[in-house]
Each structure stands twice: as C-alpha cells, then as structure tokens.
Amino acid sequence: MKRKHLTIVLFLVLATILSLSCSKQKDENSPITITIWHDKEDVVVDVIKQALEPLSPDIVVNFERKASLAETLKLVGNNPQTAPDMYLYAHDKIGVYVEMGILEPITNLVNSESIETLVPMTKTAATYKGKIYQLPIYFETLLFLYNKKYMKPEEVPSTTDELLTYVQNKTKYGHFGYIEQHSTPYYFGPWINGFGGKVIDEEGNPCLDSKETLQALAYHLKFVKYMPDETEYATVNTLFSEGKAHTTIGGPWLIPTIKKAGIDVGIANMPIINQTGKPLTPYLGVQGFQVLKTGVQNPEKKEAIIKILQILSSEEVEIKLALASGCAPAREGCYSYDSIKNDEIVMAMRNTAENAVPMPNIPEMDVMWTVTGNLLTAVNMSGKDIETSAKQAQEKALSLIENMK
Amino acid sequence: MKKKNPLKIFTINIFFIIACFFALLPILYAFSLSLNANSSILSSDFSFIPKVLSLKNYKAVFVEKPVIMWFLNTFSLAFFTVILSLSVSIPAAYMFSEFSFKGKKPIIRILILLYSFPSILSMFAIYKLLSNLNLINTRIGLVIVYTGTMAIFGLINMKGYFDTIPNEIEDAARLDGASDFMVVRKIIIPLARPSIIVTGIQVLIYVWNEYIFAINFMTGSDKFTLASGLYTMQATEKSGSWAVFSAASIVISIPILTIFFLSQKYMISGLTSGGVKG
Amino acid sequence: MKLKKNDSFKCYLISSPSLALIALIVVFPIIYTFYISLTNMNTYHWFNPEIIGFKNYKQALFVMDSGFLKAIFITIVWTAVNMVFQMVIAFSIASLLNSPLLKYRRLYKTILMFPWAMPGYVSILLWKTGMFNSQFGLLNQWLTKLGFSSIRWLASDLSAFICCTVVNLWLALPFMIMIIDGGLQSIDRSFYESATMDGASTFCKAVKITIPCLKPIIGPAVIITLFTTFKQFDIIYLMTRQPGSQTGSTIQTIITYAYENAFISNNYGYSSSISIIIFIMLMVFARFSLFTNKKEEAL
C-alpha cells in the first residue's frame, strides 16, 4: 500500500516538474518571432512564407493552422503568451473581436497608399465603426456556373424569369435545371440582396420581416420547388459533378472539383431579377490579415509587423496568393496584370464585386446565421407560411441580439 | 433434443450475421468509398464493391498527412491517460467498494450527479485553469484533462464490479496476513479483470477519438492527434475529399479494433473458474 | 467490516488522487461556470466582466418560451425510448452471445464493437450523408431499386426522431453489450445448474437469476448511459440542425435548444446561467429517478 501511495505521489511530482520545465523554455535568441494563425491550405501559406523570406533571419514568421480559429481566438485573445500576433481570416468576425477589444486598427500599421489602392468593396468589408481593422488580400464571391453540355453560352438566362422557365422545362428524369444550397443563408444572399433586402443593417437591426425579404423568400421558393431536399454542399457538388444539374450558383472552390470530374463548366454573369432590375447579388467574403493588440505591445514586434504588412501589400504577392487560393486579389493594381486578366474566374468575381454586398461584420451577425437558416428551412423545407415564419424569425433574432448584451 | 440443435445454431448465427451487417453498414460504406478510384462520395449508382478498385486514397492518407506522427501523438496520450486513469481509479474504487467510511454515500451520489454536466461546457473554465498553470500546449495538461474527465466514470464503473466480489475471498486473504495492497494486487485485480479492461478500453477510445479538447489545447500541427487531424480533413466546401477522409477514418479505427480483439481473452473473469462456492 | 477511526483517513488518502482530479476537472469548471453566470461576460465585456447578480437567471427563466417546454418533453421521451431499447437489445444480444451454441463468439463480438471504435462525429456524418441523404443515401437507393419512392428521412419530426434514435442505438449499444456480457460471465454457473435441476425454464432463469445478479454490475453503466443519452448533443445537432445542412425537422433537446438560443449569442454569462439551470434540472431528474431506496442498494 505504501509503495503504491509513494508511486502515485512521485508520479504527480514528476508530472508537475515536467510541466513546469516545459513552459520555461522561452526563446532568448534575438530573432523576433511573429506568430500568424490561419485556416488556409498549405498552397496559400507557402506563397506567404516565400514572400516573407527576405525578412529572415531577423524576423521569423511562424504559421499555425487552426481548424477552429474563431473559437480559439476568443479563448486566448488577450493573453500575450498564447495569442497570435496576427491572423489571416475572413472579415466578418472583425466586429466581434473589436468589441472584445483585441484588434488593432490596421491604419496604424500600414501607409495610406496601401489602403487607397484597394478594391472599394473590400475596404468597406474591412471597416467597422469607421476604423479599418483588416488588410484585405483577396476576396471571393459566388458565381453563376453552368454545364456547357446542356447549356450553350448563348442560352445562359439573363433574367431570373428566364432561368425559372428553363428550370421548369428541364427538371425531370433525375436532372435539375438549377440547384444551389437553398436553405443556407450564405447562398440566399444573392436573392435577398438582389431584392434590396438585408438580413441585418449596419446598426444591428435585423430585417427579416421587411417587405423586400418577404418578396425574396417568395420568389426564391419558386425555384426551391425544383431542387433536391438537401441543402448541403455535398449534394450540390455531386449533382453538378455528375452532370445531373445544369446550372448552379457556387463559389470558386467548386470549380476545381467540377473540372476534375470532367465537366465543361462555364461562368456567366448573374441573372437579373425582373422585379427589381438588379442582378442576383452575392455576399463578398474578404480574406485578410488582422493584427492583435497583444502583437503590437512590444515595439520591436510592432516594427516587424509593419514590415510584414508592407511586403504583403505588394501587388505581386497578392496576385500569387489570389491565384493559389482561386480567389480575386483585393488590390486594384493587380487587375492590369495579364495573369489576372486572363483568369475568367477572377475577372468574373471582380465584376460581381462592383455590386456585391460584403458580409456584415458586426457582432450581431453571429446570431443571424442560425436564425436565417432556420427561417429558410421553415419556408423551403417545411412549407411553412412565409409571413408568419419571417415574423417569428425576426422576433427570435431580436431576442437573441438582446441576449447578446 | 439433438434434432433441435442444428436449427438453433443456424438461427442464432443468422441473427448475429444480420446484427453484424447492421453494425457494419456505415463502415462498409466508408470502406467501399475509400477503395473507390473516383473520389466522389455520393454516386447515384452506388454499389458496395466499387467498379474501379484503388488503394490511392489510403496512399494519400499516409502521404499527404503526417498520419504516423499523429498516431504517435495519440498513442502516447492514450497510453499515459489509461495508465494514470487506472492507477488512480482502481485504488479509489477499491476504497469506495470495500470500506465504509464517513461521507462515502454522499460522495458517491455527488459524483454521479457531477457526471451529468456536459464536459464541453467546462472547456472554457478548464482552459483558464490550464493557462494559469502554463499547461496549455503540453501533453501533460491534456492527459490531466482526459484523466479528470473519465475519473468519475472509472471510479463508479469499477466500484460496481468490485462490489460483486464476495467478501469471503478477501477475508480469507486477510486471515492469511495479506495487506490491503496485496489484496488488491493479487485478488481484486485478477478477479475484476473484465471490468478493468472494459474501463481501460473505454478510456482509450475516449482519448483516441477526442478532438474538441485536443484542437483547442494543443497548438501546432505537429502536436495533432489522430482525431484532430481527421477533423481537419473533413470535406468541407473548401477542402478535402470524402474518399480520403473515409480512408483515414478506417485507418484510425483499426488500432482500437485490434486492441479490442486481442483483449477478448482477458475478459473472462476468474470468478467463474473455481474460487469460493456456496 | 473493520471500522477503526483511521480507516476513514486511509480511505480518503488513497482515493485522494482520483478525488483531486475530479475536483480539478469537473468540480472547478462547474463552480467557475456558476461564477461566470453571475457576471455580464459577453462580446462587449469579454475580458473584464462585472458581477451583475442573478440577472442572467431572470432573463433565462422568463425567456423560456414554448420551444423550451417542447425541448424538455422531447428530451425526456428521447432518454426514455433510448434507454428502454438499449437495455432490451443489449441484454438480448449479450445473452445470445453467451449461449453455448455459438462458435464464433469472439468474431461476432469484435464486429459488433465496430461502431464504438470510430470517432462519433464521423459515424454521424456517414449516417447522415451516406444513409439518410434523400438523393444518394444508401437507404433511398435501395428503396428506389426495389421500386418504392425515396423517403425524406430527416425532414419530418417523427422520422428524424426515429433516425436519430437508430444512430444513437448504433453508437451506444456496443458499450452496453460489453458491460452486460462481462456481467453475465461473472455470474456463478452453479446457480444455473441448480436451477435447471429444479426444472426451471430459460425464461424463469433469466428473470430470477440473471437479472438480479446483473443489477449491481450494470447499475453504474446504466446510470452513465442514462446521463450520456440525456446530454446527447452531437447526434441531434449534426444530423438535423447544423447551419448549412439543416433538414427541416424541428426536434430539439434541452441541450440543442440551449445551444441555439444562448450559446451562439456569445453571451457567456447568459449561456453559463442556462448551463447551470440545465445542470440543476438534471440533478433533480436524477434524484427522483435514481435515488429511490431500491436503486441505492445497487450502488
């Protein structure tokens, strides 16, 4: 008994010593280490690593891939020891982090030229309460994709009514004229924006029961009736890759998979909604670098970050990044380069960016995804009445936003 | 009576074959997906035997991702957790089972009630705790978290089994002069082998498949466990392939099954073979 | 039983590592959560929350609308249905496994343990996309091949409930089977022998010998499974409610309801108070269903 007792105590003591010694290994060398969190593919990170090569050995950049970056950042945001110095992520979480007080305005760290030469919409996306918190690098929007086997470029519908007719005629024998992730809020974006509606406005008031939203829901429902039940990516991707769906609205990430499956895919402009004269206007998602306050506390680190951001604002780097990730660069100057001009996908997204609506980056948006998703599910899949469901969703959104405070 | 037997044997085997098929259904699906040469997950004409067999997905699992490293990470985490867990829980379970002492009943009740608190909700608090102890990015921290999470389970599960060991056996041993430690080592553990193994395996499986804590508490992809690595391989919109993901899932599950198969032998309790009768 | 005074001390000493770990990893978070529930920690006061008393609780209790009551009802039904099925099926399978007629026992047992070996969320994904998907799911493919029309498995509340139950049973049965199997093996064969000699039927033997002998062994496992089923979040959430892949069903258990109404609002103070409320409810539930005199003996 005593032996076992001792062993356990010894083990615990050993464990404590080990753990303490592990944490004591702080670097006392001179290179400054900047930690950048991201959730991107290796391909993209390699480009950044290469671009930042010139800075070593004085500045060493450490990249860490985090699968649930948003959540983890919330946990460590203000702890200088465990928080990163910068992170590469979508713009829509900016509001949340600013309110938590962990983000540093990027305007303190880059020169004004870097900001002025951005594609205007990306600047809007990076702005929260009047200050800019992100250095946009590249962005993506949804695209109208079609299978050239079933639709010739001339036949691409230019208005949504034309699309509806196509769908009504062609959806049979296991084929679908048009599919999309119909009950996913992000994909409902083109419809609601095209009708002039919003999920939430800049002040944080949800607009789920506004006239425009109701119109969008009703019109959208007409198309949903001809789509499969599932709203998830796997279904849409497979149906299109197998040639069972003729058209879809999807992101640029869909294209490599489709091409690999042997589909001759074409990209077209978004159809225009007859009722409003506006095209289907998708959300804009901007990926860029955000800097944490803990990263700039140390003046040496601040200098290092400024240098890093400078390199990353260059057009060449952005072009390489954009091409590696399949998205469009956020800097106007990039679009005079041939490599960009010849890329059909990128140019299509640039076009859409003229009218696209950046995903709202205010904290209140966090709760809207679930609420809007539920609303879409109720209307599209459970067949509930549009007005009542929208009203309920609006109330739910308001109460959730209340709860946030 | 002899005539009935073949029919009974036949029925019982059929029953189990059907049960096994049901148990294996999604796994067969994943398995066939992983052997499929064209990597789409869902195909409108699906058959269990893919039209074109290929091991390329498995190759991809080992080549594209540092699976071996994940495996070593997971293995060391699991090993230490199981050892720590058992060495901590067996004595405690024995104490709670054999002796009655002040406060035993209330503590047991409280422990059971505590088990009803979902561990995900504790994550934030545990994170704060670990970061104050500087244990965030360490294996030790994670082992402690895992052991703590399974501690109640271990204690209660094994105590239940220990309770069924007849006191006479123990009293006989004590009369022969055995100390508590010897009683535990030479009598309780061998007799309670099935329960200990079940508990050990349950802890092993928990650690093997646990990814929520692992992802949040271990930074750096070289510290990834199998489960967290697998999580990052999920086919979301932006990355990943279902076929490779299925292959990886199968690869990850194999060690556990092997361990289980091998440990079957030890699950037969010593109680039924002799001991004390009447 | 020897009851010398220092026995108590000895017992606590030996159990201390276990109890210490439990205190650290289980008790502390609960206390901390309670503390947070008394503050206003949310997006706007993330790193410097102030104590605001029981405001969060007031908010939680008054906002409890009909959805919450429905969630409570479904949680209770879910737990009851799953427990009953689990016990019955696990017992049957375990008994059959121990039948002397079975030759390939070890093989069957291993295969039946497969569901346990795979990470839970992977299995749930496979079930959802591989089996129940209305376009490509295996089940619908078989149905269409047989000439029937495909069913939207997860779309309506009732069928979604049944599907989730099936998945839960699939995931949870291996554990129960293992425990009961272990328990069955510990029952002294001589009991059965003397019963057979007295002319008892198989059924009688099962009821009068097996079940009472099993009770103490599987008691803990039953309790653990009860709580696990009650706390089950993954299955219902991942199968039917995850944003981006919702299916149209509206079944919620207390936990998914709490998640969708409190946790996503980033208001930790509020969510913590809901966690504590759920915890208290669980304890009340446990008190009434478990700690009747009869069951306490089993503990």
Radius of gyration (Cα) for chain C, nearest Å? 24
In chain B, which residue's Cα lies nearest the Cα of A79? B131
B190 interfaces chain C, CB cutoff of 8 Å = no
For residues B37 and B169, state if they share a domain: no
Contacts of B167 (CB under 8 A, 6+ apart): none
CB < 8 Å to A99, chain C: 43-44, 46
Question: Is A238 close to B220, i.e. CB distance below 8 A?
Answer: no
Count: domains in chain B: 2
A395 interfaces chain C, CB cutoff of 8 Å = no
What is the separation of C-alpha B14 from the centre of its chain, rounded to a whole number of angstroms? 29
Question: Is B140 close to A19, i.e. CB distance below 8 A?
Answer: yes
B58 interfaces chain C, CB cutoff of 8 Å = no
CATH of the domain at B142: 1.10.3720.10
3-state secondary structure of C183: helix
CB < 8 Å to C133, chain A: 230, 234-235
* pLDDT digits 0-9 by tens, C201-226: 777 777 777 777 777 777 777 877 88
pLDDT score at A23: 41
Give the model's confidence band at C199: pLDDT under 50 very low, under 70 low, under 90 confident, else very high. confident
Residue A19 has its nearest CB partner, among B87, B131, B138, at: B138
A25 interfaces chain B, CB cutoff of 8 Å = no
Nearest C-alpha neighbor of A357 from the set A144, A151, A195: A195
B13 interfaces chain A, CB cutoff of 8 Å = no
Nearest C-alpha neighbor of A186 from the set A403, A387, A365, A30: A365
* pLDDT digits 0-9 by tens, C19-55: 888 888 889 988 988 888 888 877 777 777 788 878 8
Question: Is A374 close to C246, i.e. CB distance below 8 A?
Answer: yes
Instruction: Return the domain boundaries, chain A.
Output: 30-140+284-358, 143-281+364-404
CB < 8 Å to A74, chain C: 46
Partners of chain A (3+ Cβ pairs below 8 A): B, C
pLDDT score at C247: 73
B67 interfaces chain C, CB cutoff of 8 Å = no
> How many Å lie between the alpha carbon of C292 and the closest alpha carbon of chain A?
36
* pLDDT digits 0-9 by tens, A316-362: 888 888 888 888 888 888 888 888 888 888 888 888 888 888 889 88
For residues B92 and B186, state if they share a domain: yes
pLDDT score at A15: 55
Count: domains in chain C: 1
Question: If 0-12 CB within 10 Å is exposed, 13-18 middle and 19+ buried, where does residue B176 land?
Answer: exposed
Decide if B89 is inside a domain. Answer: yes
Judged against a pLDDT cut of 50, whether residue C297 lies above it is answered with no
Helix axes C211-231, C157-186, angle to 10 degrees: 140
> How many Å lie between the alpha carbon of B53 and the closest alpha carbon of chain C?
19
Judged against a pLDDT cut of 60, whether residue A18 lies above it is answered with no
Helix axes C211-231, B139-163, angle to 10 degrees: 150
DSSP A287-302: EEEEEEHHHHSSHHHH
Adjacent-strand bridge partners of A272? A159, A279
Question: Is B29 close to C126, i.e. CB distance below 8 A?
Answer: yes
C27 interfaces chain B, CB cutoff of 8 Å = yes
Q: Which C-chain residues 209-228 have CB contacts (< 8 A) with chain B?
A: 216-221, 223-224, 227
| Average pLDDT in chain A | 83
CB < 8 Å to A181, chain C: 244
pLDDT score at B271: 39
Chain A to chain B, count of Cβ pairs less than 8 Å apart?
80
A78 interfaces chain C, CB cutoff of 8 Å = yes
Question: Which of A9, A380, A403, A405 is best to mutate for the C interface (most C CBs within 10 A)?
Answer: A403
Question: Is C130 close to B91, i.e. CB distance below 8 A?
Answer: no
Question: Which of C10, C62, C145, C245 is best to mutate for the A interface (most A CBs within 10 A)?
Answer: C245
For residues B116 and B131, state if they share a domain: yes
Decide if C46 is inside a domain. Answer: no
Partners of chain C (3+ Cβ pairs below 8 A): A, B
Domain with B25, as residue range(s), is 4-59
For residues B108 and B10, state if they share a domain: no
For residues B105 and B27, state if they share a domain: no
Per-residue pLDDT of chain B (278 residues; tens, 9 = 90+): 445 577 878 888 888 888 888 888 888 888 877 777 665 555 555 566 666 677 777 877 777 777 788 888 888 899 999 999 999 888 888 888 877 777 888 888 888 888 877 777 787 788 888 877 877 778 888 899 999 888 888 888 888 778 777 778 777 877 887 777 777 777 778 888 878 888 888 888 888 888 878 877 877 667 788 887 777 776 555 555 677 777 888 888 888 878 877 776 665 543 333 333 33
* pLDDT digits 0-9 by tens, A119-177: 888 888 888 888 999 999 888 889 899 999 888 888 888 898 999 999 888 888 878 88
pLDDT score at B208: 87
| Alpha helices (H) in A77-111, listed in sequence order | 94-100
pLDDT score at A13: 58
What is the 8-class DSSP label of residue A265? Answer: E
* pLDDT digits 0-9 by tens, A60-111: 888 887 777 887 788 777 777 778 899 999 898 888 888 888 898 988 888 8
Residue A233 has its nearest CB partner, among B124, B231, B237, at: B237
Question: Is B88 close to A235, i.e. CB distance below 8 A?
Answer: no
Radius of gyration (Cα) for chain A, nearest Å? 24
Question: Is B221 close to A235, i.e. CB distance below 8 A?
Answer: no
For residues B75 and B19, state if they share a domain: no
**Beta strand A86-90 with A32-38: parallel, antiparallel or unpaired?**
parallel
Calculate mean pLDDT across residues A217-236: 84
Residue C265 has its nearest CB partner, among A5, A373, A400, at: A400
Domain with C101, as residue range(s), is 77-256
Question: Is C117 close to B256, i.e. CB distance below 8 A?
Answer: yes
Question: Is A3 close to B140, i.e. CB distance below 8 A?
Answer: no
Contact (CB, 8 A) for A243 and A149: yes
Question: Is C29 close to B152, i.e. CB distance below 8 A?
Answer: no
Instruction: Report the predicted TM-score, pTM, of the whole model to 2 decimal places.
Output: 0.79
In chain C, which residue's Cα lies nearest the Cα of A70? C266
CB < 8 Å to A23, chain B: 134-135, 138
Calculate mean pLDDT across residues A40-69: 83
What is the separation of C-alpha C190 from the centre of its chain, rounded to a whole number of angstroms? 35
Question: Is B232 close to A65, i.e. CB distance below 8 A?
Answer: yes
CB < 8 Å to A242, chain B: 40, 43-44
Residue A242 has its nearest CB partner, among B44, B134, B232, at: B44
Please work out, in degrees rounded to the nearest 5, the angle formed at the alpha carbon of residue A44 by the alpha carbons of A239 and A32.
150
Question: Is A19 close to B134, i.e. CB distance below 8 A?
Answer: yes
For residues B90 and B201, state if they share a domain: yes
Question: Is B140 close to A18, i.e. CB distance below 8 A?
Answer: yes
Instruction: Give the integer Cα–Cα distance in Å for B39 and B244.
Output: 8
pLDDT score at C85: 92
Helix or strand run (H / E) with residue A190 = helix A185-194
Residue C21 has its nearest CB partner, among B44, B128, B147, at: B147
* pLDDT digits 0-9 by tens, C80-124: 899 999 988 988 888 888 777 777 777 888 788 888 877 888 888
Please work out, in degrees rounded to the nearest 5, the angle formed at the alpha carbon of residue B56 by the alpha carbons of B54 and B59.
135
Fold classification of A30-140+284-358 is D-Maltodextrin-Binding Protein; domain 2 (3.40.190)
Question: Is A96 close to C261, i.e. CB distance below 8 A?
Answer: no
What is the token pair recorded at A236?
């849409």
For residues B100 and B211, state if they share a domain: yes
* pLDDT digits 0-9 by tens, C159-183: 888 888 999 999 988 888 887 887 7
B149 interfaces chain C, CB cutoff of 8 Å = yes
For residues B124 and B179, state if they share a domain: yes
Question: Is C265 close to A373, i.e. CB distance below 8 A?
Answer: no
> How many Å lie between the alpha carbon of C62 and the closest alpha carbon of chain B?
22
* pLDDT digits 0-9 by tens, C47-83: 777 888 788 888 777 766 667 778 888 888 998 899 9
pLDDT score at C81: 92
3-state secondary structure of C48: coil
For residues B47 and B128, state if they share a domain: no
Question: Is C26 close to B117, i.e. CB distance below 8 A?
Answer: yes
A396 interfaces chain B, CB cutoff of 8 Å = no
Fold classification of A143-281+364-404 is D-Maltodextrin-Binding Protein; domain 2 (3.40.190)
Instruction: Give the integer Cα–Cα distance in Å for C69 and A62.
Output: 50
CB < 8 Å to C2, chain B: 99
pLDDT score at B278: 35
> How many Å lie between the alpha carbon of B217 and the closest alpha carbon of chain A?
9
Q: What is the complex's ipTM, to 2 decimals?
A: 0.77
Instruction: Give the integer Cα–Cα distance in Å for C140 and C153.
Output: 9
Question: Is A404 close to C245, i.e. CB distance below 8 A?
Answer: no
pLDDT score at B243: 74
CATH of the domain at C177: 1.10.3720.10
For residues B205 and B154, state if they share a domain: yes
Residue A99 has its nearest CB partner, among C17, C43, C129, at: C43
CB < 8 Å to B155, chain C: 18, 22
Question: Is A381 close to C133, i.e. CB distance below 8 A?
Answer: no
In chain B, which residue's Cα lies nearest the Cα of C221? B157
| Average pLDDT in chain C | 79
